[in-house]
Amino acid sequence: MPLLAVLVSVDFFVGRALREDYIRAANEHLSNTALMHVRWNLLGVSFLILLLGVAVSLLYSRRFANRVARLQEFSRRVAGGDFRPLPQERGNDELSDLAHILNETAVRMEATIRSLTEERNRSAAILRSMAEGIAVVDARERVTFCNQAFSRIWNARPAGIEDKPAIEVIRQTHVVELIRQALSGEETLHGEISLGTAQPRNFSVTVAPIRSFNGVITGSEVQQKNETFGAVVVLHEITDLRRLEQVRKDFVANVSHELRTPLTAIQGFAETLLTGALEDQKNNRHFVEVIRNHAARLSRLTDDLLKLSRIEAGKLDMDFQPVDLEALIGAAVESARGAASQKQLSLAVADVPRNLPRILGDASLLREVMRNLLDNAIQYTPAGGSINVSAVGGKGLAVITVADTGIGIPQADQARIFERFYRVDAARSREVGGTGLGLAIAKHIVEAHGGEIWVESTVAEGSQFHFSLPVAA
Ligand code: ADP
């Protein structure tokens, strides 16, 4: 603009000089030649002014075009994710205002994109680490996202699942049906499935629609249009829950059954006595003895049940003290000696090293474990057999073994005998006064000490029950 001012001033002064020339010529009645001279001067100067004007506007428009190109380049950079600001413009016109606004917009966009990226990374990390299997299915019923837990449930890798039709991945018609219902606009749906046959796993299924809320213009009003464009599938494993429910049901059924047997016997013999057998001198004593035996059995059963429930509820007061295993084993064997010799069984402590490490434990509960194992060995070993107790220490553990030459346990039952009420031969167990709870109690006690209990056995040859206990640090 200052250039334009210069031009206008030049024009003004040159024009004034020419005008003065002209007036002077006219005043002095100059000849035609003089007039021609003036005209040529006039033309030359005008041409010069024109040239100057063109040059100035060319310069100005080139500078303008350069600034616009810089803005274009900047917009392109921002679209590509490069948010470096434009260099500050010195001028004070509309273009420098625009550059300033664009710079501010870029700063805001960068902040928004950064926070969105952080949010996305956080959500992805949460989804990845979740134990629940999560997948997103689009409107075409294709899996567009899944986490590791989800792919593990279907024995695949996330990459092998994504973009595949849901029906191919989720081979459960019930789940696919729930997805279809959600995609067709239904609210959150719930179901339950069971996978696998050998060791079935139970899952609760939740399928929720993903909706977009778009504004739709109808006439002069803007209305919210609710569109379902996908569904989220969440699989939550409930195998343990279902198993526990089953265990609880079985437990109630077992307890009722175990109680019914002695109660029925007691009731039956009591009635027999009342209806005349009291006078039967030959049998009345025997009937009363049967009642006493069943009552004793009931009492053992309720004692064991109480013990078990206290252990399971974590209400057992455990008094952890250093325990001398050699002394513990010696005392347990001594108290079982009477029962063993009554059944003509040899009972001995074999191989208990003198330097057996001390363990930290509740001596009275560990005595209970020994008593259960020795009682079983005596009950399930025919006369003439032998029972040996041994112990070894090492690798931070002490392992105690009770071995017998008894009837043994079939392979198929070995894993289950530590369950409550599980017996290989229920009738025989009852006959010898067993409650079916001894090994379950022993297992709980050993595990409460941080150890393990297991069995090795061969039918008709004998069994070895081992339990380990961590040694005191
Ligand atoms: P029970 O009161 O019936 O003995 P346990 O829980 O102590 O209950 O044992 C469960 C079952 O394991 C027993 O019924 C028996 O079938 C089997 N069992 C336990 N110990 C032995 C053993 N030493 N030899 C053979 N079978 C055994």
- How far CA 195 is from CA of 122, 132, 157, in Å, comes to 31, 15, 18
Better-predicted residue by pLDDT, 93 or 297: 297
Tokens of 96: 């420098």
Q: Residues 309-324: what's their mean pLDDT? A: 85
Is 210 domain-assigned?
yes
Of 257, 292, 316, which residue constitutes the final position of a domain?
316
Angle at 31 between CA 27 and CA 36, to 5 degrees: 100
| Distance between CA atoms of residues 354 and 351, nearest Å | 9
Are 294 and 221 part of one and the same domain? no
End-to-end C-alpha distance for the chain, whole angstroms: 92
Of the listed ranges 179-183, 301-305, 351-355, the least confidently predicted one is 351-355
For ligand 1, the distance from its centroid to the CA atom of residue 380, given in whole angstroms, is 7
Is 33 domain-assigned?
yes
Q: List CB contacts of 183: < 8 A, sequence separation 6 or more.
A: 137, 139, 141, 209, 228, 230, 231
Q: List CB contacts of 270: < 8 A, sequence separation 6 or more.
A: 291
| Distance between CA atoms of residues 228 and 123, nearest Å | 22
Tokens of 66: 């350069």
Are 363 and 413 part of one and the same domain? yes
- pLDDT confidence band for 37 (50 / 70 / 90): confident
Q: What is the pLDDT of residue 3?
A: 47
Are 225 and 273 part of one and the same domain? no
> Could you tell me if 89 and 99 are in contact, meaning their C-beta atoms sit under 8 angstroms apart?
yes
- pLDDT confidence band for 320 (50 / 70 / 90): very high
| Distance between CA atoms of residues 344 and 347, nearest Å | 9
CA-wise closest residue to 366 among 404, 342, 331: 331
Angle at 282 between CA 278 and CA 284, to 5 degrees: 30
Of 237, 267, 299, which residue constitutes the final position of a domain?
237
- Altogether, the residues listed in the chain come to a count of 473
| Distance between CA atoms of residues 75 and 333, nearest Å | 90
pLDDT surpasses 90 at 6: no
Q: Residues 273-296: what's their mean pLDDT? A: 91
Q: Please give the DSSP secondary-structure letter assigned to residue 132.
A: S
Are 135 and 224 part of one and the same domain? yes
Q: What is the pLDDT of residue 216?
A: 59
- pLDDT confidence band for 25 (50 / 70 / 90): low
Question: Angle of helix 438-448 relative to helix 363-379, nearest 10 degrees?
Answer: 150
Ligand 1, atom 25, residue with closest C-alpha: 408
pLDDT surpasses 70 at 288: yes
Are 444 and 460 part of one and the same domain? yes
Q: What is the pLDDT of residue 424?
A: 93
- pLDDT confidence band for 278 (50 / 70 / 90): confident
Is 196 domain-assigned?
yes
Are 342 and 307 part of one and the same domain? no
Determine what percent of the chain is predicted with pLDDT higher than 70: 90
CA-wise closest residue to 308 among 459, 435, 138: 435
For ligand 1, the distance from its centroid to the CA atom of residue 454, given in whole angstroms, is 13
Is 21 domain-assigned?
yes
pLDDT surpasses 90 at 264: yes
Are 274 and 356 part of one and the same domain? no
Q: Residues 93-118: what's their mean pLDDT? A: 87
Ligand 1 atom closest to the Cα of residue 426 is 14
Q: What is the pLDDT of residue 241?
A: 94
pLDDT surpasses 50 at 460: yes
Ligand 1, atom 3, residue with closest C-alpha: 436
CA-wise closest residue to 399 among 317, 342, 456, 441: 456
Place of tokens 């996305």: 120
Ligand 1 atom closest to the Cα of residue 430 is 3
Pocket test of ligand 1: the residue of 402, 423, 443, 466 to mutate, having most ligand atoms within 8 Å of its CB, is 423
How many separate domains does the chain show?
Answer: 4
Tokens of 322: 């250093």
Is 170 domain-assigned?
yes
Q: What is the pLDDT of residue 435?
A: 87
- pLDDT tens by residue, 361-407: 999 999 999 999 999 999 999 999 999 999 999 888 999 999 999 99
Of 237, 255, 287, which residue constitutes the final position of a domain?
237
pLDDT surpasses 90 at 311: no
CATH number, domain with residue 260: 1.10.287.130
| Distance between CA atoms of residues 378 and 376, nearest Å | 5
For ligand 1, the distance from its centroid to the CA atom of residue 299, given in whole angstroms, is 19
CB burial of 379-411 (b: ≥16 within 10 Å; e: otherwise) equals: bbbeeebbbbbbbbbeeebbbbbbbbbbbbbee
Q: What is the pLDDT of residue 292?
A: 95
> Could you tell me if 320 and 360 are in contact, meaning their C-beta atoms sit under 8 angstroms apart?
yes
Are 472 and 325 part of one and the same domain? yes
- pLDDT confidence band for 220 (50 / 70 / 90): low
| Distance between CA atoms of residues 246 and 301, nearest Å | 21
Ligand 1 atom closest to the Cα of residue 423 is 14
| Distance between CA atoms of residues 231 and 220, nearest Å | 33
pLDDT surpasses 90 at 334: yes
Better-predicted residue by pLDDT, 124 or 209: 209
Q: What is the pLDDT of residue 275?
A: 93
Can you give the residue range of the structural domain that contains 15? 2-79
For ligand 1, the distance from its centroid to the CA atom of residue 333, given in whole angstroms, is 18
Q: What is the pLDDT of residue 405?
A: 97
Sign of the Cα torsion 367, 369, 372, 373 reads: negative
pLDDT surpasses 50 at 51: yes
Ligand 1 neighbours (beta carbon < 6 A): 372, 376-377, 380, 404, 406-407, 409, 417, 423-425, 429, 434-440, 463
Better-predicted residue by pLDDT, 223 or 168: 168
- pLDDT confidence band for 13 (50 / 70 / 90): low
Are 464 and 322 part of one and the same domain? yes
- pLDDT confidence band for 260 (50 / 70 / 90): very high
- How far CA 108 is from CA of 83, 96, 102, in Å, comes to 10, 19, 10
Are 348 and 453 part of one and the same domain? yes
Q: What is the pLDDT of residue 1?
A: 47
For ligand 1, the distance from its centroid to the CA atom of residue 1, given in whole angstroms, is 109
pLDDT surpasses 90 at 298: yes
- pLDDT confidence band for 11 (50 / 70 / 90): low
Ligand 1, atom 14, residue with closest C-alpha: 423
Ligand 1 atom closest to the Cα of residue 422 is 10
Is 107 domain-assigned?
no
Q: What is the pLDDT of residue 8?
A: 52
Q: Residues 420-444: what's their mean pLDDT? A: 88
Ligand 1 atom closest to the Cα of residue 439 is 6
pLDDT surpasses 60 at 65: yes
CATH number, domain with residue 225: 3.30.450.20
Is 112 domain-assigned?
no
Is 178 domain-assigned?
yes
For ligand 1, the distance from its centroid to the CA atom of residue 423, given in whole angstroms, is 6
Are 401 and 428 part of one and the same domain? yes
Q: Is residue 234 classed as helix, strand or coil in its secondary structure?
A: strand
Pocket test of ligand 1: the residue of 376, 379, 428 to mutate, having most ligand atoms within 8 Å of its CB, is 376
Q: Residues 442-465: what's their mean pLDDT? A: 96
| Distance between CA atoms of residues 24 and 230, nearest Å | 93
Pocket test of ligand 1: the residue of 416, 417, 432, 443 to mutate, having most ligand atoms within 8 Å of its CB, is 417
- pLDDT tens by residue, 146-188: 999 999 998 888 788 888 999 998 889 999 999 999 999 888 9
Q: What is the pLDDT of residue 358?
A: 87
pLDDT surpasses 90 at 248: no
Place of tokens 């890798």: 157
Are 278 and 344 part of one and the same domain? no
For ligand 1, the distance from its centroid to the CA atom of residue 443, given in whole angstroms, is 13
CA-wise closest residue to 6 among 54, 53, 63, 64: 53
CATH number, domain with residue 427: 3.30.565.10
- pLDDT confidence band for 440 (50 / 70 / 90): very high
Q: List CB contacts of 68: < 8 A, sequence separation 6 or more.
A: 95
Sign of the Cα torsion 110, 116, 119, 124 reads: negative
- pLDDT confidence band for 103 (50 / 70 / 90): confident
Better-predicted residue by pLDDT, 60 or 372: 372
